[in-house]
């Protein structure tokens, strides 16, 4: 049986981290030593992703009329751009990871000298895209990254996911990796959540989907 693991470090960007991030996740910066330890392991493929939005992105509260435009609080209904009859509820956020801004940059202390690919995501203003693979809404996807192609072309069997945020982009990236047919692992201690209270539900979703949780010290990762 072949085993070719890839490490995918999701959205470890200034805007998701204290002290100055627009959408700072509690403890977001504290996972960097663990991420750097993972990056030092002999994964044949290492990838970092970046949330990378235009200023007019649909997920920014500032792009919607009041009163339903409160960052973190408002859920709004958006239409599928390819089929306006189909709608979806989505959460609004502060402006974050705008292309060309400081907030969109990867943390300088993250050892990206070890990654072969930086994959950008979330560039289409019409759809939310938590997963680093594609928006979940449109078919064919109006917003799709290069991630699936990179992993399939390289003959990857297993995908290890870490980074930010545990309950959004890490979660949807891991669930999509599983759907793409990869054996999928989430490195729990190398993530932090926007809403840590939802993590038990996230872990239940992983269990249902066959996504595995793994620790940095586990054998599964040291191979
Ligand atoms: C993310 C909220 C909005 C994430 C991205 O990277 O988890 N969360 N955009
Ligand atoms: Zn975003």
Q: What is the mean pLDDT of the chain?
A: 96
Instruction: Please give the Cα distance from 156 to 145 (Å, whole number).
Output: 17
Give the distance (Å) from ligand 1 centre to CA of residue 107: 15
pLDDT at 220: 73
Q: Determine the distance separating the centroid of ligand 1 and the alpha carbon of 182, expressed in angstroms.
A: 22
Tokens representing residue 1 in the block: 């049986």
* DSSP H or E run through 121: strand 117-121
> Is a pLDDT exceeding 70 seen at residue 51?
yes
Q: Whose CA is nearest to atom 2 of ligand 1?
A: 168
Cβ count within 10 A of residue 181: 13
Closest to 108 in 3D by CA, of 36, 45, 168: 36
Ligand 1: which atom is nearest the Cα of residue 169? 7
Confidence of residue 223 (pLDDT cuts 50, 70, 90): low
Q: So what's the pLDDT on residue 222?
A: 67
Q: What are phi and psi of 147, to 5 degrees?
A: -60, -50
Q: What is the pLDDT of residue 197?
A: 98
Ligand 2 center–CA 217 separation, angstroms: 30
For atom 4 of ligand 1, which residue has the closest CA? Answer: 169
Average pLDDT (29-48) is 98
Helices (H) and strands (E) in the chain, counts: 5, 8
Cα 193 to Cα 202: distance, rounded to the nearest angstrom: 10
At 67 the pLDDT is: 95
Helix H or strand E segment including 222: helix 219-222
Which atom belonging to ligand 1 lies closest to the Cα atom of 93?
Answer: 3
In the DSSP assignment, the letter for residue 111 is -
Q: Which of 27, 93, 129, 175, when mutated, tests ligand 1's pocket best, judged by the most ligand atoms within 8 Å of its CB? A: 93
Looking at the predicted structure, is the pLDDT value of residue 156 above 70? yes
Taking CB atoms and a 6 Å cutoff, what residues make up the pocket around ligand 1? 11, 16, 23, 51, 59, 93, 130, 164-165, 168-169
Q: How many Cα atoms sit within 13 Å of 114 on the Cβ side?
A: 19
Q: With cut-offs at 50, 70 and 90, classify the pLDDT of residue 216.
A: confident
- The backbone region for 87, taken as left when phi is positive above 0, alpha when psi lies in -120 to 50, beta otherwise, is beta
**ipTM, 2 decimals?**
0.98
Q: Is the pLDDT of residue 64 over 70?
A: yes
Query: Averaged over 59-79, what is the pLDDT?
Result: 96
Residue with CA nearest ligand 1 atom 9 = 130
Using DSSP, state whether 127 is helix, strand or coil: coil
Over residues 187-203, the pLDDT tens digits come to: 999 999 999 999 999 99
Of the candidates 114, 90, 88, the residue with the CA atom closest to the CA atom of residue 32 = 114
Q: What is the mean pLDDT of residues 153-173?
A: 98
Number of Cα atoms under 13 Å in the Cβ half of residue 4: 11
Q: What is the pTM of this model?
A: 0.97
CA of 169 to the centre of ligand 1 (A): 5
Q: Which residues does the annotation mark as catalytic? A: 11, 121, 169
Tokens standing for residue 194: 């926007």
For residue 59, the ligand 1 atom closest to its alpha carbon is: 3
For residue range 95-150, list pLDDT tens digits in order.
Answer: 999 999 999 999 999 999 999 999 999 999 999 999 999 998 899 999 999 999 99
- Is the model's pLDDT at 41 over the cut of 80? yes
């Amino acid at each position: 049986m072949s085993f070719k693991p890839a490490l995918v470090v999701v959205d470890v960007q200034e805007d998701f981290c204290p002290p100055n991030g627009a959408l700072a996740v509690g403890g977001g910066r504290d996972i960097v030593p663990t991420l750097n330890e993972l990056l030092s392991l002999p994964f044949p493929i290492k990838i970092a992703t970046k949330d990378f939005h235009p200023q007019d992105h649909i997920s920014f509260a500032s792009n919607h009329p009041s009163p339903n435009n409160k960052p973190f609080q408002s859920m709004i209904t958006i239409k599928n751009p390819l089929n306006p009859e189909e709608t979806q509820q989505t959460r609004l956020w502060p402006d974050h990871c705008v292309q060309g801004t400081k907030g969109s940059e990867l943390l300088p202390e993250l050892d990206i000298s070890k990654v072969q690919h930086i994959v950008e995501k979330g560039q289409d203003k019409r759809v939310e895209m938590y997963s680093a693979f594609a928006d979940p809404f449109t078919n064919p996807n109006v917003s799709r990254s290069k991630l699936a192609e990179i992993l399939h072309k390289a003959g990857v069997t297993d995908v290890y996911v870490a980074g930010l945020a545990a309950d959004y982009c890490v979660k949807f990236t891991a669930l999509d990796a599983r759907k793409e047919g990869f054996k999928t692992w989430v490195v729990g201690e190398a993530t932090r959540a926007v809403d840590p209270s939802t993590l038990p539900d996230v872990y239940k979703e992983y269990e249902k989907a066959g996504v595995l949780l793994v620790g940095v010290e586990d054998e599964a990762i040291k191979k």
